[in-house]
Amino acid sequence: LVVQNASLILSIRYVRTLPGERFFATTAVVMAELLKGATCLLLIFLQKQGSVKQFALFLYDAVVVQYVDTLKLAVPSLIYTLQNNLQYVAISNLPAATFQVTYQLKILTTAVFSVLMLRKSLSRLQWVSLLLLFTGVAVVQVEQGQVGERGLVVRARGLGARTPGFSPRLWEGSWGLVVRAGGLGVGTCCL
């Protein structure tokens, strides 16, 4: 997972800084979500042992019958779309290392939202870890702030890093993780 995340950031940074015409970030976001959605559908199909009837009934139940859960995916999908588009803006304008460190703020915000909104409790070790993470991000931000004109992009990335804190746990329904991830991806593509 570490190799995947690091290579993703480096490859996006590389193609976004090449001279010449750039691709539309929104197209990249939609294509990534379509790939994730197709993968989730394939996993559900395989879970149903290749039965098209069971697959269709499961999807009908998960999307149409449980329409309230489907509607709950609209807000996280919108936030996720905004976050992914801000990610492309930030990585086009920030050094890869600064972006990667700032991107880790999503761990902190998810933890804070889990404590505040979901009444989860964290151990002392977890709080110390979050404090160390925040300190590292703050040091990088201060160093980046001294560079000057990229402050707006750092703030845009900060907003993008904060938005995932809303999405992972706000809609704990009866769906499996794969169904929720697929629904989030489909919702992002629709937006």
In this prediction, residue 70 carries a pLDDT of 85
Give me the tens of pLDDT residue by residue for the chain, a chain 191 residues long. 678 777 888 888 888 888 888 888 888 888 988 998 899 999 999 999 989 999 999 999 998 999 898 888 888 888 888 888 888 888 888 887 778 777 777 888 888 888 998 889 989 999 898 888 888 777 766 766 665 544 444 444 444 444 444 433 333 444 444 444 444 444 444 44
Write down the pLDDT at residue 141. Answer: 67
Which residues, 6+ apart, have CB-to-CB distance to 105 below 8 Å?
Answer: 134, 137, 158, 161, 162
- Rounded to an integer, what distance in angstroms lies between the CA atom of residue 165 and that of residue 177? 17
Rounded to an integer, what distance in angstroms lies between the CA atom of residue 187 and that of residue 167? 13
* Identity of the residue numbered 126: Q
Contacts of 28 (CB under 8 A, 6+ apart): 88
The whole-number pLDDT of residue 57 equals: 94
| Assigned token pair, 182 | 């697929």
Domain boundaries in the chain? 2-190
Specify whether the CB–CB gap between 63 and 70 falls below 8 A: yes
Question: What pLDDT score does 174 carry?
Answer: 40
